[in-house]
Structure 1
Amino acid sequence: MTWAKELEELRRREALAEEMGGPDKVARQHSRGKMDARARLAALVDEGSFREIGKIAGKGHYDANGDLESVTPAPFLFGKALINGRPVVATADDFTIRGGAADAGIARKMVQAEQMAHELRLPIIRMIDGTGGGGSVKTLEQIGATYIPAVPGWGDVVTNLDTVPVVALALGPTAGLGAARTVASHYSIMVKGLSQIFAAGPAVVEAMGEAYRDGSGNREDAKEALGGSAIHTRNGVVDDEVASEAEAFARARHFLSFMPEHVGQLARRAECSDPADRREEALLSLVPHDPKQVYSMRRALEMILDSGTVFEIGRNWGRAAITALARLDGWPVAVVASDPSYLGGSWEAKTSEKVERFVRLADQFRLPIVHLVDNPGFMIGREAEMAGTIRYGAQAMNAIYKATVPLASVVMRRAYGIAGSAMSNAERYQYRFCWPSGDWGSLPIAGGLEVAYKAELEAADDPAAELAAIRERLAKVTSPFRSAERFNVEDIIDPRDTRPLLCEFAQLAWRRLESGR
């Protein structure tokens, strides 16, 4: 006697699970320009590598004789898969079943997915489309009582943040727990026009008395107005915005290519065909002589780092600093770079918050840090004070001082005040290079001449000529070579040597990391 009958029952239940919310609900999902959960899993991971766990979990519906008639699958799928040939935990909400909200067995499935990630030391990817929480207000009537809210397994979510890379893709309207699961990640993505994130949706917000939608009353417009990607990729809630689900999957895979599989393991070096000794002639004229002129820091990154490896994170928020993962001679590094085209590179509150988060990410996953500096200081003025800039700025500086991974800085132009001093930990060995365009100090001299030399200027027969003479004297004092004479800076270099020297740093940094120190 065999178990063929039971296996036939298993296959029947598996087929029911693959129907998800049924043909009509799946068609509705596709009509909104959205892939279904199973198609998303197949598109995200290496072809044919997904092994589903708990596929037949859900709510069975039985006839009077106790025979199965149909199944409502749990609206949460997960399993083991491969991305770039490396094992991961891949999860997806199924919006075709009660809008991705809780249903039979979902709480334990979600908990098991999170536990699998940190107990087996596997990166976890969450594809979030729905609330993923406790259901609707009608659920309370079905239960017959209310309850004090709790999130089963949230401790595992927290543990994963300390243990493994966590990637979250918001692929539809995500509210409540769905929104929380999105932001509780190391890297998050929204799809423009498709994803929205909010603590509570438009209907709930309007019921509380806040009217924000336009005259059209369109439901989708209301979602965008409340929590679209144009909001959350500019306030720092979510890292990046993409144009399609396919692009979201590609960026998730790319992010993980820089990461180790877990804390305690080192990331991997990639093959590199870009010569480590490449010297870009254009770097020699990149920084203008006029201190008021800007230049493209992103162009500098492309010339200095391995060709085609720059993976920028958080481009639309905290814009005075560029944060990116990249490679130097194949070695993965975390890059922080000033952007003089935005606020002159001055760090305001959001930029400081962005730098702090990124440096903590680099230190957690043991990626050496490269800091390209052109920082005139923290943003000043009443608006900056209202935003609490100095607090966020100090927290960014704290993160840099607490980081234990090797750090190299390149001062390309300005380094002023407390923000300028946050380029590196001054109490450790300074792996630092300065360009001849370097300009640094406690505060910009140009802005304080009239105040500092007020008496001399008032006494002068020709104040304009006296001011010009003072400027000429100070230009000599502020020469970067004067600082180098006193060893206040380690080395002034030819800008064209930046890539070879940073490749050397990457090799030495990874030598230290691989030694286990």
Structure 2
Amino acid sequence: MAHRRLQVISGHLAPSPTRGRAKGPAGWQPEVDDLEHRKQIIRTADVKDPGYVRQKLQGKLWVRDRIDAFVDAGSFREFGAIAGKPEYGDPKESNNITKITPGNYVGGRATVDNRPIVVGADDFSVRGGHADGAIGLKSIYGERMAVNLRLPMIRLLDGSSGGRTYPPPLTGIEVMVKALTDIPVACAILGPAVGLGAAKATISHFSVVAGDIGQLFAAGPPVVEYSTFEKLTKDELGGALSHTSNGSIDNWAANEQECFVQIRRFLSFMPTNSSHLPPYSKTSDPITRQDERLLSIIPRRRSSPYKIREIISSVVDEGSWFEIGGRWGGSVVVGLARLGGYPVGVWASDCEVKGGGLEREGCMKLRRHIDLCETFGLPVLNLVDQPGFSVGTEAEKAASIRYGATVMTALYQATIPLFTVILRRAFGVAGAAMISSTTETFNQRVAWPSADWGSLPIEGGIEAAYKRRLNEASEKREQLKQELLAEFEAVRSPIKTAEAFEIPDIIDPRTTRPMACEWVKLVYEQVLPDRIVRRRTRGVEGVAYRP
């Protein structure tokens, strides 16, 4: 009897085949099918759409093709995938959507070289990429995702002007500015970046423009013609060559694909955020390599030029040199490279451009790069051949000394380790700042035998200090000048400075790479981890980065 009762109870408790199940198709499959149908419509290019046709006629990739070309295959995870304005057909039919006009911003998470990022791209085929076609705050959602997840933010810009009326402040600008203090931000200008789009390009750590299709301006040609009566094409107003020569955009690229290559290279040197170490990459270039060319690359005649980029390429890991801003501020050379596989920033002067003196644009470029290295904890290879601030009426009108003061301020506020190599000149205030800036961490200084330093170049110093004697010498003026030069040459050798331990080491130029590689390994192992801990405990996310 008891056994029978247990069977009855078990029968009541067993689930019924139909209990709790809705009539019709099982589960939520219809809704899932509807979602997939909508996504398929949005993700399929309408080859007859005028906006899509215009993109193709201009030689541009479609927005989704751009993302696919940039990120690792199959890694893109889109947010807001069905955001758009649908058009419906017969309501009696399932999946009765006939068309969807999507938002003109596509964003999501992805990986680049197996490292996570957030990527957002404008779709110029929808309302010319204007911000009012972006469906709510999709682009700001992407920016906040990057900031909150602390992942690099990549913007593929093509449009993004205003297009609507709004009172200040501009929604989202604050999160873009905050991003600069903690995560790498890179932009590719792949069409006309107008208004808000132009601001996005410049609120970044690295920007590159496709030379065949990219432009940047605060307002387009129609608005400019109405305001200033200038009738200009897009390229005449804000073409790629113009803005890579004035510093608004860092680098020029031939096309979209080269833009993607450059951003990938930039990211390869960057940590995921300011609380991580920059990524090590194994190299086949021996750290013991010595280049014989370095022994004679600096001419004995101090006024003779040489190729600074040859020195950089010779010292850093083979093929690792990545220059930033090579088309503007030419007296200063900055970029990223590796030493023994470890990422470093590189600063140098180009004596072939204005003698290498610090002028306004060079100061702006250098200060920006100092901030980049400071934000992401990149140790610096500092190659010094600095004759001083630019002089003359042009330099004074350009306020070069004021911009120079911002460089000195950034140098003395920096906490990143420096490996300073005095190649040749270190004169005046600018020269002193480049070699003697005090940091919280170690600034290792060495000099080549070609090094030359002082308050000012000896030739100018003699002219100033012995002006009366030289003028009184009359016809023998030049002879007296040469005698004075010879007299001072005997006591101004860098070896004399080393004897007094005012420079720690004078080295064989060929040993620069081995010494720098040993130094950077120690820095990454002994200094940078503690630096990150100190920044975290102080609650510091990064410097006040100034784009």
Give the alignment's TM-score, normalised by structure 2. 0.88
Count of residue pairs the alignment pairs up: 499
1:389 matched to 2:400? The reply is yes
Counterpart check, 1:513 vs 2:532:
no
Aligned in 2, Cα 1:289/1:212: closer, same or farther, shift over 3 Å? farther
- Which deviations, in whole Å up to 9, do the C-alpha atoms of 1:394-417 show, x marking residues without a partner? 111111111111111100001111
Query: Residue type matched to 1:498 in 2?
Result: T
Deviations 1:299-353 (A, max 9, x none): 1111101111001101001111111100001111000011111111111001001
Q: Quick one: which of 224, 227, 233 aligns to 2:238?
A: 227
In 2, Cα distance between equivalents of 1:426 and 1:177: 38
C-alpha contact 1:167 1:187 (8 A) present in aligned 2: yes
For 1:384 and 1:149, how far apart are their aligned partners in 2?
Answer: 37
Residue pair 1:435, 1:495 contacting (<8 A) in 2 also = yes
- In 2, distance between residues paired with 1:464 and 1:69? 89
Deviation at 1:104, TM superposition (A): 5.4
> CA contact under 8 A between 1:407 and 1:424: conserved in structure 2?
no
Aligned equivalent of 2:516: 502
Output the CA distance in 2 between the equivalents of 1:403 and 1:22.
53
For residues 426 and 147 of structure 1, do their structure 2 counterparts lie closer, same or farther at Cα, with a shift above 3 Å needed? closer
- Equivalent residue, structure 1, for 2:17: none
Of 479, 483, 491 in structure 2, the residue corresponding to residue 469 of structure 1 is 483
8 Å CA contact retained: 1:21, 1:73: no
Once the two structures are TM-superposed, the CA of residue 147 in structure 1 deviates from its matched residue by: 4.2
3-state SS, counterpart of residue 480 of structure 2: helix
Return the offset for 1:205. Answer: 0.5
Quote the offset at 1:31 in angstroms.
Answer: 1.5
Of the structure 1 ranges 3-12 and 340-349, higher mean CA displacement relative to structure 2 is found in: 3-12
Q: Which residue of 1 aligns with 2:32?
A: 7
Q: Given the superposition, is the C-alpha separation of residues 76 and 489 from structure 1 closer, same or farther in structure 2, using an over 3 Å criterion?
A: same
Superposed, 1:1-400 pairs within 5 Å as 1-19=26-44, 23-24=48-49, 25-62=51-88, 68-103=97-132, 106-130=135-159, 132-135=160-163, 147-211=166-230, 213=232, 222-400=233-411
The one-letter code sitting in structure 1 at the alignment partner of 2:283 is C
Q: Which residue of 1 aligns with 2:469?
A: 456
Aligned to 1:408: 419
2:455 paired residue number: 442
The 8 Å contact of residues 193 and 228 in structure 1, kept in 2 or not, is answered as: no
Q: Secondary structure at the match of 2:495?
A: helix
**1:56 Cα offset (Å):** 0.8
What secondary structure, in the 3-state scheme, does the structure 1 residue paired with 2:293 have?
helix
Report what 1:143 is aligned to.
none
Q: Distance in 1 between matches of 2:138 and 2:85?
A: 13
Contact 1:20 1:94 in 2 (8 A): no
Query: Partners of 1:422 and 1:349 in 2: how far apart?
Result: 16
Q: TM-score, normalised by structure 1?
A: 0.93
- Note the C-alpha offset of 1:148: 2.1
Q: Is the 8 A contact 1:20 1:72 kept in 2?
A: no
Question: 2:471 and 2:66 mapped to 1: Cα distance?
Answer: 73
Percent of pairs identical after alignment?
A: 43
Q: CA 1:104/1:389 → structure 2, altered by over 3 Å: closer, same or farther?
A: closer
Indicate if the aligned counterparts of 2:161 and 2:193 stay in contact, CA closer than 8 A. Answer: no
> Mean alpha-carbon deviation: is it higher for 494-503 or for 445-454?
445-454
The answer (yes or no) to whether the contact 1:258–1:268 under 8 Å persists in 2 is yes
Q: Alpha-carbon deviation of 1:126?
A: 0.3
Give the secondary structure class of the aligned counterpart of 2:193.
strand
Mark the CA change 1:354 to 1:21 in structure 2 (over 3 Å): closer, same or farther: farther
CA distance in 1, matches of 2:231, 2:166: 31
Check 1:287–1:57 CA distance in 2 against 1; reply closer, same or farther (3 A cut): same
Which residues of structure 1 form unaligned runs of 5+?
140-145, 214-221
Q: Is the 8 A contact 2:104 2:134 kept in 1?
A: no
For residues 409 and 4 of structure 1, the distance between their equivalents in structure 2, rounded to whole angstroms, comes to 65
Deviations 1:226-265 (A, max 9, x none): 1011111111111000001110001111100100001111
SS in 2 for 1:290: coil
Partner of residue 432, structure 1: 445
CA deviations 1:364-419 (Å, max 9, x no partner) are 00000111011111111111111111111111111111111111110000111111
Higher deviation after alignment, 442-451 or 230-239: 442-451
SS in 2 for 1:374: strand
SS in 1 for 2:434: coil
Query: Contact 2:426–2:435 at 8 Å: present in 1 too?
Result: no
